[in-house]
C-alpha cells in the first residue's frame, strides 16, 4: 500500500534525530511501569477528515525503535480519509510501541497536514495548466519531510535548497544593479543550473525575456499584470506566480495562464493532522 517504502537517507537521519531527542537515555515512564516481556496491540486512527500521508515514515519510526514491531497500514497512502477511520494496526513489545508512539504520530500528523493543505490547492486549480509548487519556507531540519508531504498531496517541489537551482531575487538584482548583470554573473558562476529571475514589474519581465532565462518569477503582481506577462512571453519562458497566495486567490491566479504557482503556506502554515494511537489489548 505504501508508495515510497525506501525513504531517502535524509529522512532516515531525521527520524533517528527525532527519536534521540525524545527518548534520550530511556523512556522513564514506560520502562518503570511496563515489564520488558509485555506485548500489546494498538491502532492509529484519524481524528479528522483529510489526506493521510507518511504512513511509511511512521512505520520506520516504530521499527527503528524495535525491528520486530508489526506495522500494517489499513489505507492507501495519499487517500482522503474520514474521522475515526483506522489508518494502521500496530503490534509488538509494549515498551517499544509506547516509546515510539509520539514521534511516529508527530511525523504522521505533520506530513498529513501538509498533504491535506496541498491537495486543497491542487484541487482549486484543477482544469488549468498551473502546477502547485512549494517553497523553502520549511521547518528547519525537516525540509525533506515537508517536501515529501507536498508531493504526497499532489504538488511539486521547487528547488530543494540553495544549491540545485539559481533563483535571482530582488536583493541579488539590487546588489548587481540589474537583472541582466545578475544573470550574467550567475550563468558564469553556476554553469549548468537552471536560472529563474524575480520580476517586480512588466519591464522586468521584458528584460528577463531578452537574456534567455528559463523561468520568470512574477512577484506579488496583480492577476491583470500576470495575464499581461503571459501575453508578452507567449510561451517562450515558464512563468511562476508567487506572493501571498491563498485558497481564495489561487484559482484566479491560475486562470491567468501561468505555468506554476508557488505557495509558502503549504509548509509554513499547514495545520497538523490529528491522529491518535489507541490501545487494543
On the 0-12 / 13-18 / 19+ scale of CB atoms within 10 A, 79 is: middle
pTM reported for the whole predicted model:
0.95
List alpha helices for 125-264, DSSP H: 143-152, 170-176, 179-189, 202-210, 223-233, 250-254
pLDDT of 4 above 60: no
Domain of 195: which CATH number?
Answer: 3.20.20.70
Answer yes or no: 219 catalytic.
yes
Would residue 169 show up in a list of annotated catalytic residues for this protein? yes
Share of the chain above pLDDT 70, in %: 98
Number of domains forming the structure of the chain: 2
Strand partners, 196: 167, 215
Task: List the catalytic residue out of 137, 159, 238, 251.
Answer: 137
**Do residues 94 and 47 touch, judged by C-beta distance below 8 A?**
no
Mean pLDDT on 79-91 = 98
Residue 91's pLDDT is: 98
Position 1 pLDDT exceeds 80: no
Indicate if 174 belongs to the active site.
no
Q: Residue 46 sits in a domain of what CATH number?
A: 3.90.1170.20
Average the pLDDT over 25-30 and give the result. 98
- Catalytic member of 10, 66, 159, 169: 169
Which residue in the list 219, 228, 255, 274 is annotated as catalytic? 219
Mark whether 47 is an active-site residue: no
Q: CA-CA distance, 108 to 274, in Å (whole number)? A: 9
Q: Does residue 5 surpass a pLDDT of 60? A: no
Check whether 251 has a pLDDT greater than 50: yes
Q: According to the model, what pLDDT value does residue 262 have?
A: 98
Domain shared by 72 and 111, yes or no? yes
| Catalytic residue list contains 238 | no
What are phi and psi for residue 125, nearest 5 degrees?
A: -105, 10
Structural domain that includes position 30: 9-115+271-279
Catalytic residue among 22, 66, 102, 238: 102
Asked if residue 255 and residue 136 are part of one domain, the reply reads yes
Say if CB 90 and CB 74 are below 8 A apart.
no
Amino acid at each position: 500500500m505504501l508508495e515510497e517504502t525506501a525513504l531517502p537517507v535524509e529522512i532516515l537521519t531525521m527520524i533517528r534525530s527525532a527519536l534521540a531527542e525524545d527518548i534520550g537515555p530511556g523512556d522513564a515512564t514506560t520502562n518503570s511501569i511496563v515489564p520488558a516481556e509485555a506485548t500489546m496491540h494498538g491502532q492509529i486512527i484519524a481524528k479528522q477528515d483529510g489526506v493521510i500521508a507518511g504512513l511509511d515514515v511512521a512505520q520506520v519510526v516504530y521499527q527503528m525503535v524495535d525491528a520486530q514491531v508489526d506495522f500494517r497500514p489499513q489505507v492507501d497512502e495519499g487517500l482522503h480519509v474520514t474521522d475515526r477511520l483506522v489508518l494502521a494496526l500496530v503490534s509488538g513489545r509494549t515498551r517499544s510501541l509506547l516509546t515510539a508512539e509520539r514521534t511516529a504520530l508527530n511525523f504522521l500528523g505533520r506530513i498529513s497536514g501538509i498533504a491535506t493543505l496541498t491537495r486543497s490547492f491542487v484541487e482549486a486549480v484543477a482544469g488549468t495548466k498551473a502546477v502547485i509548487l512549494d517553497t523553502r519556507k520549511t521547518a528547519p531540519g525537516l525540509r525533506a519531510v515537508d517536501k515529501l508531504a507536498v508531493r504526497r498531496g499532489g504538488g511539486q517541489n521547487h528547488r530543494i535548497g540553495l544549491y540545485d537551482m539559481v533563483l535571482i531575487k530582488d536583493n541579488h538584482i539590487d546588489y548587481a544593479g540589474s537583472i541582466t548583470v545578475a544573470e550574467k554573473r550567475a550563468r558564469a558562476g553556476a554553469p549548468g543550473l537552471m536560472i529563474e529571475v524575480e520580476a517586480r514589474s512588466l519591464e522586468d519581465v521584458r528584460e528577463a525575456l531578452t537574456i534567455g532565462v528559463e523561468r520568470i518569477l512574477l512577484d506579488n503582481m496583480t492577476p491583470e499584470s500576470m495575464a499581461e506577462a503571459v501575453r508578452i512571453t507567449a510561451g517562450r519562458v515558464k512563468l511562476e506566480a508567487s506572493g501571498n497566495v491563498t485558497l481564495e486567490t489561487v484559482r484566479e491566479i491560475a486562470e491567468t495562464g501561468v505555468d506554476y504557482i508557488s505557495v509558502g503556506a503549504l509548509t509554513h502554515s499547514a495545520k497538523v493532522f490529528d491522529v491518535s494511537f489507541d490501545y487494543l489489548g
